[in-house]
């Protein structure tokens, strides 16, 4: 036998998580075991570095608690008691239960629930759509995140990707609006820092002094849900003081006169009162932004999570065109970049298979749908969950838990670990992780398409989502040939390899290099996507007055349905405006007498939604247990000291937490991170348990940041 060490095989891949960075990775394999995962140093954006969440991605794959085999429930729902069964037994049980449900109630009594636990093209949030559309199930509307913002952006600019994050290195003035970049898009920070070295100013707009805000030149701590008022105030100053680019506005925008008239009501003094800042700050921000020319705005997802979230993004999206920032490398705005990726979304979801009249239930309303609080005919009799942990992430968590505890609800969960949701399943199916599956990765935060190649065999009896739905299609007797395409065939079908943006990019190239930058008109230091207009709106211009703002319209495509503008199909105001939050002392004084603190929630530094929150290293990095950040004055008024055990509560739930007392959050606001799992101390998991299942003004987005709570010593 040779005493030489086994050669380490390296395989190129890409991160599967719900993160705009989508890091380029390298899997290191020895003796067919994954021993290490590192960043790919050849990728210019991620540059060989992985975030803290992926520090031990190899260990994540080999975790001792990982689900390896199909299991059937043996104890009460929620007990986590299961026994191992075979795949044949699991599939036969699913077939029998579903066929009985279909025979009695029809296929719409089956409800799939999936989101961004994996965001790949093959195995991500659309991976089961073809199957469920062929089966005839209820359609699950997926608008947890980004939908309201995307509608606001598309109404204004069209389905275009905006600024390249790498172009921020050439900006002179940068506004980070509602994003904690260092924790949630850290690979954009080097470009921002490069701009600072060259004299750029960085402004962070956020009610919380986040890690990113602490690094900025200025932090503007507005009240939650007042972003659109601030944007309209900036428009007021820019138009009244003639700081706009008249030539660009005249050639490449629609509705300037109307926008100026609307903004006339948003004086710095009025905006200061709404936002809880000074009039001088409003004027300073507007003037500095307009005068810099190469001004950039990075919008975070949190902006949309209020009743007026879509209009807030509309207002912010008008700013770059107003000052002509799009003319310059380093000028413009970034909301999401996924619009530019040449994916055949219709092939992924096969929305054309949905039968007319099939009902749609938004995933925010899962608790209502399962408990009967939402009248349904037929009722939901089976729930199928994959790529999601709704019991931890859905609002109105107590309703969701009550619904999932129903003995007459047949629940199937495909998972990596025994999550809060999986404990309520009747059948649990084991899923593969990223190093074990093929996928094409797009991004909502940059312009690199990536190929994730499997590096090791799936352990135990785990299967990818693509294989899972092939097996389900077979057992349910579905005959459409598209349901049985191999993974290689799916790669060919799902990517538009002939698109202009894919010129020079082939599958063989991606196999060799792992990634490729889309061809979108120039490198970061020269790219000016809208210097000559070329917006994706009906007019081809930036639309201050949105021509598509008509009743019942949809815009963009992502998954099985377009983004719906409005809940009731009625028209909205085509001009951006400010919609006040609903849970405030002014809007609801009776509620505010009971619960006087505005709750904000955000992503943790060490978790990705609820992923990694069951792993010791990540838990330690995140402090070990749920915390709540409360202002010094608010804490003193309640007799709360740093480190005290407290309860955060309202009419929806009570969540136990440890108090973090600091002036890093403005008075009247508390902040909690997402991700912690239920445990013996805390059955209610984090801030989403406290939130309502209300929708925002467009896109059926959520309003999690419009929630009043109270905090008291436990």
Strand 295-299 relative to strand 173-177, pairing: parallel
The ranges of the chain annotated as CATH 2.40.40.20 are 589-713
Which residues make up the CATH 3.30.200.210 domain(s) of the chain? 9-61
Handedness of CA 122, 128, 133, 134 (dihedral sign): positive
**pLDDT score recorded for residue 525:** 83
* Distance, C-alpha 454 to centroid of its chain: 25
- The stretches of 360-515 forming alpha helices (DSSP H) are 366-371, 390-393, 397-404, 465-475, 487-494, 507-513
Q: Please, are residues 22 and 14 in contact by the beta-carbon 8 Å criterion?
A: yes
DSSP for 227-250, written as a single string: HHHHHHHHHHHHHHTT-S-HHHHH
CATH 3.40.50.740 maps onto the chain at 71-142+343-516
Instruction: Give the DSSP letter of residue 684.
Output: S
Please say if the pLDDT value at position 553 is more than 90.
no
Query: What distance in Å separates the CA atoms of residue 105 and residue 378, rounded to the nearest whole number?
Result: 6
CATH 3.30.70.520 corresponds to the domain 71-142+343-516: no
So what's the pLDDT on residue 345? 86
pLDDT at residue 566 is higher than 60: no
Higher pLDDT, 382 or 5: 382
H or E element in which residue 133 lies = helix 129-135
Residue 560 has pLDDT above 60, yes or no: no
The reported pLDDT for the residue numbered 521 is: 82
Task: Report the C-alpha gap between 396 and 303 in whole angstroms.
Answer: 21
Q: Round to whole Å and give the CA distance between 708 and 714.
A: 18
Q: Is residue 416 scored above 90 in pLDDT?
A: yes
Q: How many other C-beta atoms can be found within 10 angstroms of the C-beta atom of residue 12?
A: 22
Q: What is the mean pLDDT of the segment spanning 79-105?
A: 98
Residues 417, 411: Cα–Cα separation, whole Å: 16
Average pLDDT over residues 468-494: 97
**3-class SS of residue 678:** coil
Q: Which residue is listed with tokens 């080999």? A: 62
Band the pLDDT of 554: cuts 50, 70, 90: very low
Kindly give the pairing relationship between strand 427-430 and strand 71-73.
Answer: antiparallel
| Residue 562 in this model has a pLDDT that exceeds 50 | no
Torsion of CA 329, 153, 444, 531, to 10 degrees: -20
Report in angstroms the alpha-carbon separations of 309 from 173, 187, 224. 24, 26, 11
pLDDT in tens, 144-182: 888 899 999 999 999 999 999 999 999 999 999 999 999
Task: Give how far Cα 139 sits from Cα of 105, 114, 261, Å.
Answer: 16, 11, 42
pLDDT average, residue stretch 296-321: 96
**pLDDT band per the 50, 70, 90 thresholds, residue 549:** confident
Greater confidence (466 vs 348) lies with 466
Contacts 24+ apart (CB under 8 A), 274-277: 274/223, 274/226, 274/229, 274/578, 274/580, 275/222, 275/223, 275/226, 275/229, 275/230, 275/233, 276/221, 276/222, 276/223, 276/226, 276/666, 277/220, 277/221, 277/222, 277/230
pLDDT above 70 (res 708): yes
pLDDT digits (tens, 9 = 90+) for 226-256: 999 999 999 999 999 999 999 999 999 999 9
- Phi, then psi, of 694 in degrees rounded to 5: -90, 155
Interatomic CA distance for residues 463 and 376, integer angstroms: 33
Per-residue confidence band for 346, with pLDDT thresholds at 50, 70 and 90? confident
CB 671 within 8 A of CB 684: no
Model confidence over 452-478: pLDDT tens digits?
999 999 999 999 999 999 999 999 999
- Residue 212, pLDDT > 70, answer yes
Q: What is the pLDDT of residue 380?
A: 98
Cα separation of 680 and 673, whole Å? 19
pLDDT tens string 68-84: 999 999 999 999 999 99
How far CA 348 is from CA of 125, 201, 340, 691, in Å, comes to 10, 42, 16, 32
Does pLDDT of 1 surpass 50? no
Dist. CA 465–CA 385, nearest whole Å: 12
With a cut of 50, say whether residue 495 has pLDDT above it. Answer: yes
Q: What is the mean pLDDT of residues 560-586?
A: 71
- Give the pLDDT confidence score for residue 683 in this predicted structure: 79
- The proportion of the chain whose per-residue pLDDT surpasses 90, expressed as a percent, equals 88
What CATH number belongs to 9-61? 3.30.200.210
CB half-sphere exposure, 653, CA atoms < 13 A = 25
DSSP state, residue 106 = -
pLDDT at site 569: 46
Q: Which fold has domain 163-334?
A: Dimethylsulfoxide Reductase; domain 2 (3.40.228)
Residue 90 has pLDDT above 90, yes or no: yes
Other beta carbons within 10 Å of 504: 7
CATH architecture of 589-713: Beta Barrel (2.40)
Which uninterrupted H or E stretch holds 194? Answer: helix 189-197
The predicted pLDDT at position 470 comes to: 98
Task: For residue 49, give every residue at least 6 positions away whose Cβ sits within 8 Å of its Cβ, in sequence order, or none.
Answer: 23, 39, 187
Task: Express the helix, strand and coil content of the chain in percent, nearest 5 each.
Answer: 35, 20, 45
CA–CA dist 308, 335 (Å, integer): 17
| In contact, 395 and 704? CB cutoff 8 Å | yes
pLDDT category, 563, cuts 50, 70, 90? very low
Spatial distance between the Cα atoms of 254 and 673, rounded to a whole number of angstroms: 40
- Please spell the DSSP secondary structure of 555-582, one letter per residue: EEEETTEEEES-SSS----SS------S
Q: What is the pLDDT of residue 558?
A: 35
The span from the CA of 708 to the CA of 208, in Å, is: 16
Q: Where in the chain is the domain with CATH 3.40.228.10?
A: 163-334
The yes-or-no verdict on residue 555 having pLDDT over 80 is no
Token pair of 651, please?
């009419």
Is the pLDDT score of 556 beyond 70?
Answer: no
| Percent of the chain scoring above 70 in pLDDT | 96
Mean model confidence pLDDT for the chain = 94
Nearest to 226 by CA among 703, 579, 694, 698: 579
Q: Quick one: which of 128, 152, 150, 436 has its CA closest to 312?
A: 152
**pLDDT tens profile 622-657:** 999 999 999 999 999 999 999 999 999 999 999 999
565 band by pLDDT with thresholds 50, 70 and 90: very low
């Amino acid at each position: 036998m040779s005493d030489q060490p086994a050669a380490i095989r390296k395989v190129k891949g890409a991160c599967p998580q719900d993160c705009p960075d989508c890091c380029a990775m390298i899997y290191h394999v020895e003796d067919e075991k994954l021993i290490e995962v590192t960043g790919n140093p050849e990728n210019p954006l991620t540059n060989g570095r992985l975030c803290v969440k992926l520090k031990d991605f190899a260990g994540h794959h080999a975790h001792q608690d990982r689900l390896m085999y199909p299991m059937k429930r043996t104890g009460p729902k929620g007990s986590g008691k299961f026994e191992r069964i075979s795949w044949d037994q699991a599939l036969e049980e699913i077939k029998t239960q579903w066929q009985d449900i279909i025979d009695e109630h029809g296929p719409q009594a089956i409800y799939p629930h999936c989101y961004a636990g994996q965001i790949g093209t093959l195995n991500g949030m659309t991976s089961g759509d073809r199957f469920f559309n062929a089966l005839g199930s209820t359609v699950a509307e997926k608008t947890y995140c980004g939908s309201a913002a995307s509608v606001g952006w598309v109404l204004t600019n069209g389905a275009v990707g905006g600024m390249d994050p790498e172009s921020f290195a050439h900006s002179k003035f940068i506004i980070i609006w509602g994003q904690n970049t260092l924790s949630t898009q850290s690979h954009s920070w080097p470009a921002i820092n490069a701009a600072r070295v060259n004299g750029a100013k960085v402004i962070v707009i956020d009610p919380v002094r986040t890690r990113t805000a602490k690094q900025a030149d200025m932090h503007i701590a507005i009240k939650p849900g007042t972003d659109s008022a601030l944007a309209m105030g900036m428009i007021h100053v820019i138009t009244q003081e003639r700081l706009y680019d008249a030539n660009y506005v005249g050639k490449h925008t629609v509705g300037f006169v109307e926008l100026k008239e609307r903004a006339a009501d948003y004086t710095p003094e009025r905006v200061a009162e709404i936002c809880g800042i000074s009039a001088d700050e409003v004027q300073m921000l507007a003037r500095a932004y307009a005068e810099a020319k190469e001004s950039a705005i990075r919008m975070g997802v949190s902006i949309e999570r209020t009743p007026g979230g879509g209009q807030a993004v509309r207002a912010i999206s008008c700013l770059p065109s107003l000052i002509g920032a799009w003319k310059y490398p380093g000028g413009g705005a970034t909301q999401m970049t996924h619009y530019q990726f040449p994916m055949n979304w219709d092939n992924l979801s096969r929305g054309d298979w949905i039968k007319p009249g099939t009902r749609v239930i938004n995933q925010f309303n899962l608790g209502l749908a399962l408990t009967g609080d939402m009248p349904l005919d037929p009722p939901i009799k089976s729930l199928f969950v994959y790529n999601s942990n709704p019991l931890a992430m859905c609002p109105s968590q107590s309703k969701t838990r009550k619904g999932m505890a129903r003995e007459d609800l047949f629940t199937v969960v495909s998972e990596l670990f025994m999550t809060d949701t999986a404990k309520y399943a009747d059948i649990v199916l084991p899923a593969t992780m990223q190093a074990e599956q093929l996928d094409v990765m797009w991004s909502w935060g940059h312009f690199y398409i990536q190929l994730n190649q499997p590096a090791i065999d799936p352990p135990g009896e785990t299967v990818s989502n693509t294989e899972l739905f092939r097996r389900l299609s077979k057992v349910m007797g579905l005959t459409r040939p598209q349901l049985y395409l191999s993974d290689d065939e799916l790669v060919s079908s799902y990517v538009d390899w002939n698109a202009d943006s894919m010129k020079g990019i082939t599958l063989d190239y991606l196999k060799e290099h792992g990634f490729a930058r889309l061809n979108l008109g120039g490198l970061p230091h020269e790219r000016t996507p809208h210097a000559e207009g070329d917006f994706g709106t009906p007019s081809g211009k930036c639309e201050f007055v949105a021509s598509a703002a008509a009743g019942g319209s949809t815009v963009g495509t992502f998954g099985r349905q377009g983004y719906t503008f409005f809940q009731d199909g009625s028209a909205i105001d085509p001009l951006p405006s400010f919609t006040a939050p609903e849970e405030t002392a002014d809007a609801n004084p009776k509620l505010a007498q009971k619960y006087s603190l505005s709750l904000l929630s955000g992503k943790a530094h060490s978790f990705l939604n609820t992923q990694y929150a069951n792993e010791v290293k990540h838990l330690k990095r995140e402090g070990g247990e749920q915390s709540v950040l409360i202002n010094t004055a608010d804490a003193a008024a309640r007799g709360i000291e740093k480190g005290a055990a407290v309860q955060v509560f309202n009419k929806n739930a009570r969540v136990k937490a440890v108090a973090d007392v600091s002036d890093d959050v403005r008075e009247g606001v508390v902040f909690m991170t997402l991700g912690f799992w239920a445990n013996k101390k805390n059955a209610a998991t984090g801030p989403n348990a406290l939130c309502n299942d209300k929708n925002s003004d467009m896109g059926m987005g959520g309003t999690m940041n419009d929630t009043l709570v109270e905090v008291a010593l436990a």
